[in-house]
Structure 1
Amino acid sequence: MNKKINVAVIGAGVAAKPHILSLSDLAAEAEFSWCYSRTQSKLQELAKQLAVPPDTRLTTSMDSILGDPAVRAVLVLTPANAHLDVVRRAAQAGKHVLVEKPLEVDLQKAQEMVAVCGQHGVTLAVMFQHRLRDGAVALRTLIQNGELGTLISGSATARWWRPQSYYDEPGRGTLARDGGGVLMTQAIHTIDLLLSLTGMPDRVIGLVATSPVHRMETEDTAAALLHFANGAIVTLEATTAAYPGYAEKLALNFTGGTATLESGELVCEFADGRQLTVGEKQSSGSGANIMGFDHGAHRTVIADFLGAIREGREPQASGRSALNAQRLIDAIVESSRLGSPL
């Protein structure tokens, strides 16, 4: 049996729950040795709520974690604007890193994160769990094998809901902490999933806006038209002003059939009459309950991360591959600002 990988969690906010539950499920593969927060009371509350193992050390000292030679990997669950600093320190200490999305608040910092992990020879993975759901994996295989033919057109929608109270929390929906609004915080999952299937477009027309529903610094609504090198056209719609919140959905039309991926469930209608369904619909926190989803897909990403460390390979949701989502988001926002295609 493979020796357990010693893992520390850095950050004890709302994002910590699915990661810690996943580590519990993966106890045969990972030893959850440390948990860090700047606030001791938050650590105690988290430990009680999630039944953190009694031998997991709770600390307000990140140096204690990074200085522990037994720790091989860290899960970085801090706000996005702290990612680069934490990841740089972890990489310099020789720790493999899995970071919550997005990589960072802007593309330059995200690229620096990827570079520093490469320089120090450590693995960098990102929590883009939607691309590792069964339906998404099956669709990617069908596309790669040419079973659906060539992409013609499609749509990607993330019509979510967030009440004003969500954005009233300090930092939410700001450029300084989150790097943007709906595109960087919610729709980035749908964007990453789309790009993992199609690759990057060669032309983008984007529009972003803040609806009357929310008082916030950044956008809560965005739309884009994506053109690909083969001539395919895909539309993107994203919002957090669609009450009560709806499942994210990709509908892609190919020369050999149509594929619909909704909340993790894939339905394919092939032109030769065959039909295929893979996976089950899963909640993704599209409504007011932002943590209203199962942690199974998080577990899959973490298990793949641990496997990548053991096998010396790239994780399926690698930091380098995650850069494309931020490149496209930047293009959409810039196209909207300029009022012209990019």
Structure 2
Amino acid sequence: MKTIAILGLGMALAPHMAGLADLKGRVRLAYAVSRSSARRAAFEASYGIAATDDLDAVLGDPAVDAVILLTPPASHRDLGSRILAAGKHLLIEKPAGLVIDDTRFLADRAKALGLLVTPVLQHRFRSSVRAVAKIISSSAPGKLCGVHCLIPWWRPQSYYDEPGRGTYARDGGGVMLTQAIHTLDVLRALCGGARISAAHAGTSPLHRMESEDMVCALATFGPDAAPGTIMATTACFPGMPETMTLIFERMTIRLKGLQAQVFHHYGQVETLGGEGASGSAADPMAFDHASHRELMSAFLDALEGKTALEVDLSDLLRTRELIDAMTEDHGH
């Protein structure tokens, strides 16, 4: 049984708590930490667990094996460093800091201290994504020939009216870092890498915000440099599921939301995964927590020495590099 603490009791909390409830035979939540008295009170009312603002006491408890860090990105470098310095493993919400050097810093600290860090890139743990990854790893598809990725999400202005949201000072960026990062991480992993050829990032008339809400890019994918496109936005009302179309020599694979379809050239069509909301519309938390649970389970497996980490900060670094290449013309 591993003992953990959660630091940050805001919007990202619910799927993590649901995942922990599913894994109660393997993990114990010992502490919930927030500077906000209102959020501590709300947490205690919702979950019946006492919350605290004393982070030093939590990090000083030798019983705590790991910390789940759910605070805004601007705090991730400093808090992540404190957690690692206390000898605790770390599960950290994306992005791991405002700029890519923050992620490199935490990766170097973890390596030096012999600690494990997993970023919350939970889409990699969707059943459809895992099934598609298995197919691609075989020789069945043939060479990758082309790629199209569309992330037509919606966030109302009220979402960006939250203090700090969509700013460089708190979030580090807009649609790419706070929404599209999950899909782009899956895309990069399934295709075996991506390189941006040209991109445009901007803010549409639908939002008043500092950072970008719309990005379009031309790219090449995988070792054979298959051509393709990427488009991501939070200005597409009312919000539609993200789609990835991967064109191979002997099949086309299309991932839409939680589901994937494999169209074989000989006629068979396979459907993988299930249906459900993916957080594409006005409510960013309208999605099932199953992929969070599977990510946490994999993190626990690594803590228990059963397996290596399935997703680590090197994955987040490569995905952040991809994002930075698309948004450099919309910098702060």
> Structure 2 length normalisation: TM-score?
0.96
Counterpart position of 2:252 = 258
Whole-Å separation in 2 of the counterparts to 1:243 and 1:337: 23
Alignment of 1:178-217 (within 5 A): 178-217=171-210
Q: What letter matches 1:24 in structure 2?
A: A
Q: Residue 43 of structure 2 contacts residue 51 of structure 2 at CA under 8 Å; is this kept in 1? A: no
Counterpart position of 1:315 = 309
Counterpart position of 1:35 = 32
Q: Classify the secondary structure of the residue corresponding to 2:51.
A: strand
Q: Classify the secondary structure of the residue corresponding to 1:250.
A: strand
The CA deviation at 1:188 is 0.6
Q: Classify the secondary structure of the residue corresponding to 1:236.
A: strand
Q: What letter matches 1:242 in structure 2?
A: C
> Structure 1 length normalisation: TM-score?
0.93
Counterpart position of 2:103 = 110
2:274 to 269, 275, 280: 280
Counterpart position of 1:332 = 326
Deviates more, 1:24-33 or 1:315-324: 315-324
Please provide the CA RMSD for this pair.
1.4
Q: Residue 133 of structure 1 contacts residue 297 of structure 1 at CA under 8 Å; is this kept in 2? A: yes
Q: Residue 206 of structure 1 contacts residue 332 of structure 1 at CA under 8 Å; is this kept in 2? A: yes
1:59 is aligned to 2:52: yes
Q: Residue 157 of structure 1 contacts residue 190 of structure 1 at CA under 8 Å; is this kept in 2? A: no
Flag as ranges the 4+ runs of structure 1 deviating above 3 A.
none
1:12 is aligned to 2:29: no
1:25 to 22, 25, 42: 22
Alignment of 1:147-296 (within 5 A): 147-228=140-221, 229-296=223-290
Whole-Å separation in 1 of the counterparts to 2:22 and 2:118: 19
Q: Residue 262 of structure 1 contacts residue 281 of structure 1 at CA under 8 Å; is this kept in 2? A: no
Whole-Å separation in 1 of the counterparts to 2:196 and 2:203: 24
Unpaired segments ≥5 residues, structure 2: none
Q: Classify the secondary structure of the residue corresponding to 1:58.
A: coil
Whole-Å separation in 1 of the counterparts to 2:2 and 2:51: 18
The CA deviation at 1:203 is 4.1
The CA deviation at 1:248 is 0.9
Q: Classify the secondary structure of the residue corresponding to 1:17.
A: helix
Counterpart position of 1:142 = 135
The CA deviation at 1:329 is 0.6
Whole-Å separation in 2 of the counterparts to 1:209 and 1:179: 15
Whole-Å separation in 2 of the counterparts to 1:125 and 1:42: 25
Q: Residue 196 of structure 2 contacts residue 217 of structure 2 at CA under 8 Å; is this kept in 1? A: no
The CA deviation at 1:199 is 2.5
Deviates more, 1:263-272 or 1:225-234: 225-234
Deviates more, 1:257-266 or 1:281-290: 281-290
Q: Residue 148 of structure 1 contacts residue 254 of structure 1 at CA under 8 Å; is this kept in 2? A: yes
The CA deviation at 1:47 is 2.3
Whole-Å separation in 2 of the counterparts to 1:218 and 1:152: 33
Q: What letter matches 1:210 in structure 2?
A: T
The CA deviation at 1:337 is 5.7
2:41 to 27, 44, 63: 44
Q: Residue 9 of structure 1 contacts residue 34 of structure 1 at CA under 8 Å; is this kept in 2? A: yes
The 3 A distance-change label for structure 1 pair 208 and 269 is same
The CA deviation at 1:200 is 2.2
The CA deviation at 1:312 is 6.0
Unpaired segments ≥5 residues, structure 1: none
Whole-Å separation in 2 of the counterparts to 1:200 and 1:47: 43
Q: How many percent of aligned residue pairs carry the same amino acid?
A: 37
Q: Classify the secondary structure of the residue corresponding to 1:303.
A: helix
